[in-house]
């Protein structure tokens, strides 16, 4: 018994001193080195600035005491990685030099963009390499109430314009963004791209919800397999959010005249039918085809000015008038895809100002573009529906407790 007790005491003493020793080692261990662009810089001199207009790479290197011969060698060796003519005023750059009084340059770093930089070795054989920074994808939530437009509702949010455009792309086949009403609500779960602790942009919209009074329209991003064949946005029933026709042929515009049987013409000063929708927009605003089809004509068309006409199928044709010019490859017989740029807003023909006169014909007769019903694209295959509905329920739970007033501190 005495021996056993002594063994226990002895073990306790060993454990005590081991713990004390480990604690002392942790307390006395040096802190991790400070890293910058993958380089330990605690004992080095770091100088960061922004490129000024007129500054060149050779001038920057010469100003740091590097000989003209070696500067020429550096420029030749790295020209394919960092062409001297590609340096842009305003971009950050960094010199890392020796920590002594001589300040001999060791590295030059040029920030190509918020997500990549070029590292140039200035000692020994000159070399350069482009480095991509790590981008972290975080989920972010947004909810806002419309006062006048989605763009104005999101203007107080960082990358709000990008978010508005992404939402228009998601709902562009189902909602008329020129007819939003005060009190309409948008909620979105989306990817926030973060680099070095700073947001650098948005990724995909993961889920979005539009509410008008008591009616909801949901969209969920779903990619059931690695092929991406069925990746896209679907509603709560698994129906494709894409439609045969876009709701509008352009963005950044307002409706200045609607489809009517009798409109007072601003130039002719007479009443006559206006079988189209006029979108007022700046000259040069891209105009998109509302659906797949074949270009029937692309020419100057009297009062309609420069015009493009597209046959989508045996039933529907669309027409785009008063253009300033045509999109790349637009000519009679050309095949176009939904969303493809077919021209640019102008004021050619009989027009008082820059706008797009957009028309749709069904079986040769004009129909109101704002009210035509467009059939959906292919739905999600049945074999994926169970997985999809589980995904929908999961996302809804994630958004359930984030109402508009809580989610958006900018409103």
Residues in the chain: 411
Q: What is the per-residue pLDDT for 252?
A: 65
Which token pair is 58? 């050779």
Determine the pLDDT at residue 284: 95
pLDDT at 297: 96
d(CA 369, CA 137): 39
Quote the pLDDT of residue 7. 53
Taking alpha carbons only, the member of 120, 58, 53 closest to residue 88 is 53
117 contact partners, CB below 8 Å, separation of at least 6 = 37, 109, 110, 111, 130, 131, 133
Question: CA torsion sign, 162 to 164 to 165 to 169?
Answer: positive
CA–CA gap between residue 395 and residue 376 (Å, rounded): 23
- pLDDT at residue number 8: 53
Whole-number Å distance between alpha carbons of 126 and 50? 23
201: left (phi over 0), alpha (psi -120 to 50) or beta: left
- Secondary structure of residue 152 in the 3-state scheme: helix
Cα–Cα separations (whole angstroms), residue 204 to 222, 223, 259, 313, 350: 11, 12, 35, 31, 42
- Which domains does the chain possess? 35-132 (3.10.450.350), 136-243+390-407 (3.10.450.350), 254-367 (2.70.70.10)
| Residue 333, Cβ density class (10 Å: 0-12 exposed, 13-18 middle, ≥19 buried) | exposed
**What string of pLDDT tens digits covers the 411 residues of the chain?**
554 554 554 555 555 555 555 455 455 667 888 989 989 999 999 999 999 999 999 999 999 999 999 999 888 888 888 887 788 999 999 999 999 999 999 999 999 988 899 999 998 888 889 999 999 999 989 999 999 888 889 988 888 889 998 998 888 778 877 778 899 999 999 999 999 888 999 999 999 999 998 889 999 999 988 887 889 999 999 989 888 888 889 986 678 676 565 544 455 444 456 778 899 999 999 999 998 889 999 999 998 999 999 998 777 899 999 999 999 999 999 999 999 999 999 999 988 889 999 999 988 888 888 878 776 777 888 899 999 999 999 998 888 755 433 444 444
């Amino acid at each position: 018994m005495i021996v056993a007790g002594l063994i226990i005491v002895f073990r306790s003493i060993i454990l005590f001193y081991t713990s004390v020793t480990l604690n002392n080692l942790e307390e006395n261990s040096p802190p991790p080195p400070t890293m910058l662009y993958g380089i330990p810089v605690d004992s080095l001199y770091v100088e960061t600035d922004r490129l000024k207009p007129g500054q060149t790479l050779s001038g920057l290197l010469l100003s740091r005491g590097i000989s003209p011969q070696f500067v020429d060698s550096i420029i030749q060796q790295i020209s394919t990685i960092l062409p001297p003519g590609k340096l842009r005023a305003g971009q950050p750059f960094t010199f890392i030099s020796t920590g002594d009084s001589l300040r001999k340059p060791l590295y030059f770093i040029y920030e190509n963009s918020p997500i990549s930089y070029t590292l140039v070795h200035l000692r020994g054989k000159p070399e350069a390499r482009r480095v991509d920074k790590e981008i972290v994808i975080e989920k972010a939530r947004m909810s806002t109430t419309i006062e006048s437009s989605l763009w104005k509702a999101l203007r107080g949010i960082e990358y709000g314009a990008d978010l508005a455009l992404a939402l228009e792309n998601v709902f562009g086949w189902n909602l008329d963004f020129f007819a939003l009403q005060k009190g309409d609500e948008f909620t979105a779960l989306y990817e926030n791209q973060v680099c070095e602790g700073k947001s650098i942009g948005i990724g995909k919209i993961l889920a979005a919800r539009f509410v008008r009074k008591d009616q909801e329209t949901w969209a969920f991003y779903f990619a059931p397999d690695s092929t991406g064949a069925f990746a896209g946005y679907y509603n709560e029933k698994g129906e494709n959010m894409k439609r045969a026709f876009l709701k509008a042929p352009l963005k950044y515009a307002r409706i200045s005249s609607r489809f009517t049987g009798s409109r007072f013409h601003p130039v002719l000063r007479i009443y006559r039918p206006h079988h189209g929708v006029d979108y007022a927009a700046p000259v040069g605003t891209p105009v998109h085809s509302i659906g797949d089809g074949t270009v029937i004509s692309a020419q100057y068309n009297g009062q309609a000015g420069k015009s493009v006409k597209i046959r989508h199928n045996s039933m529907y044709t669309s027409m785009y008038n008063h253009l300033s010019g045509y999109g790349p490859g637009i000519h009679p017989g050309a095949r176009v895809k939904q969303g493809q740029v077919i021209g640019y807003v102008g004021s050619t023909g009989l027009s008082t100002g820059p706008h797009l006169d957009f028309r749709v014909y069904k079986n040769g007769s004009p129909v109101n573009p704002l009210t035509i019903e467009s059939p959906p694209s292919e739905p999600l295959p049945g074999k994926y529906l169970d997985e999809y509905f589980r995904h929908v329920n999961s996302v809804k739970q994630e958004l359930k407790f984030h109402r508009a007033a809580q989610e958006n501190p900018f409103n």
